[in-house]
Amino acid sequence: MTKQILKTVFAGVLAGVVLFMMPFIIIKVLIFFMLIKAIFRLMGGGRRHMHMRYAYAQKFQNMSEEERAAFMKDNANRWNNNCCGWNSSCEPTINENKTTNS
Protein backbone atom coordinates (compact mmCIF):
# COMPACT_ATOMS: atom_id res chain seq x y z
CA MET A 1 0.00 0.00 0.00
CA THR A 2 2.78 2.43 0.93
CA LYS A 3 4.70 1.45 -2.20
CA GLN A 4 1.70 2.23 -4.40
CA ILE A 5 1.22 5.65 -2.77
CA LEU A 6 4.93 6.47 -3.18
CA LYS A 7 4.78 5.51 -6.87
CA THR A 8 1.82 7.85 -7.38
CA VAL A 9 3.53 10.69 -5.51
CA PHE A 10 6.77 10.14 -7.44
CA ALA A 11 4.86 10.13 -10.76
CA GLY A 12 3.07 13.35 -9.76
CA VAL A 13 6.34 15.06 -8.80
CA LEU A 14 7.96 13.91 -12.04
CA ALA A 15 4.98 15.14 -14.10
CA GLY A 16 5.09 18.48 -12.26
CA VAL A 17 8.81 18.89 -12.96
CA VAL A 18 8.29 18.06 -16.63
CA LEU A 19 5.39 20.51 -16.94
CA PHE A 20 7.40 23.20 -15.14
CA MET A 21 10.52 22.67 -17.28
CA MET A 22 8.69 22.36 -20.62
CA PRO A 23 8.81 26.10 -21.52
CA PHE A 24 12.51 26.24 -20.72
CA ILE A 25 13.19 23.17 -22.87
CA ILE A 26 11.18 24.61 -25.77
CA ILE A 27 13.04 27.92 -25.52
CA LYS A 28 16.38 26.10 -25.50
CA VAL A 29 15.39 24.06 -28.54
CA LEU A 30 14.26 27.19 -30.41
CA ILE A 31 17.48 29.01 -29.54
CA PHE A 32 19.48 25.99 -30.70
CA PHE A 33 17.74 25.89 -34.07
CA MET A 34 18.05 29.67 -34.50
CA LEU A 35 21.80 29.42 -33.83
CA ILE A 36 22.15 26.60 -36.36
CA LYS A 37 20.22 28.66 -38.92
CA ALA A 38 22.44 31.68 -38.28
CA ILE A 39 25.58 29.58 -38.69
CA PHE A 40 24.38 28.19 -42.02
CA ARG A 41 23.40 31.66 -43.26
CA LEU A 42 26.79 33.08 -42.27
CA MET A 43 28.58 30.25 -44.03
CA GLY A 44 26.62 30.80 -47.24
CA GLY A 45 23.84 28.24 -46.97
CA GLY A 46 21.06 30.85 -47.05
CA ARG A 47 22.43 33.02 -49.82
CA ARG A 48 20.41 31.90 -52.77
CA HIS A 49 20.40 34.05 -55.87
CA MET A 50 23.23 36.28 -54.65
CA HIS A 51 25.31 35.43 -57.73
CA MET A 52 22.62 36.89 -59.95
CA ARG A 53 23.03 40.35 -58.43
CA TYR A 54 26.75 40.40 -59.04
CA ALA A 55 26.35 39.09 -62.58
CA TYR A 56 23.81 41.83 -63.34
CA ALA A 57 26.08 44.52 -61.85
CA GLN A 58 28.94 43.31 -64.02
CA LYS A 59 26.69 43.38 -67.08
CA PHE A 60 25.61 46.95 -66.24
CA GLN A 61 29.22 48.08 -65.75
CA ASN A 62 30.26 46.58 -69.08
CA MET A 63 27.57 48.44 -71.04
CA SER A 64 28.56 51.27 -73.30
CA GLU A 65 27.27 54.75 -72.57
CA GLU A 66 24.64 54.48 -75.33
CA GLU A 67 23.41 51.10 -74.06
CA ARG A 68 23.29 52.38 -70.50
CA ALA A 69 21.33 55.49 -71.52
CA ALA A 70 18.83 53.38 -73.48
CA PHE A 71 18.48 50.98 -70.55
CA MET A 72 17.90 53.81 -68.09
CA LYS A 73 15.34 55.41 -70.42
CA ASP A 74 13.45 52.13 -70.88
CA ASN A 75 13.29 51.39 -67.16
CA ALA A 76 13.00 54.89 -65.66
CA ASN A 77 9.21 54.69 -65.39
CA ARG A 78 9.37 51.37 -63.58
CA TRP A 79 11.84 52.72 -61.04
CA ASN A 80 9.86 55.93 -60.51
CA ASN A 81 6.72 53.93 -59.71
CA ASN A 82 8.58 51.57 -57.36
CA CYS A 83 7.70 48.58 -59.52
CA CYS A 84 11.06 46.90 -59.50
CA GLY A 85 11.72 43.51 -57.99
CA TRP A 86 10.65 39.96 -58.68
CA ASN A 87 7.74 40.21 -56.24
CA SER A 88 6.23 43.46 -57.42
CA SER A 89 2.56 43.38 -58.25
CA CYS A 90 2.18 46.77 -59.88
CA GLU A 91 2.03 47.34 -63.58
CA PRO A 92 4.35 50.02 -64.87
CA THR A 93 2.66 52.76 -66.83
CA ILE A 94 4.32 54.98 -69.36
CA ASN A 95 3.97 58.63 -68.40
CA GLU A 96 5.01 60.72 -71.33
CA ASN A 97 4.78 64.46 -70.96
CA LYS A 98 2.94 65.60 -74.05
CA THR A 99 2.55 69.28 -74.55
CA THR A 100 -0.01 70.71 -76.88
CA ASN A 101 0.41 74.00 -78.61
CA SER A 102 -2.78 76.04 -78.36
Q: For residue 96, what is the DSSP state? A: -
Is pLDDT at 94 greater than 80 in this prediction?
Answer: no
**In whole numbers, what is the pLDDT of the chain averaged over residues?**
76
* pLDDT 10s digits, 50-93: 555 566 677 778 888 898 888 888 777 666 655 555 555 555 55
CA 33 to chain centre: 17
Q: Which residue has the higher pLDDT, 99 or 59?
A: 59
76 vs 32, 56, 72, 81, 83, CA distance in Å? 46, 17, 6, 9, 10
CA distance linking residue 29 with residue 78, whole number of Å: 45
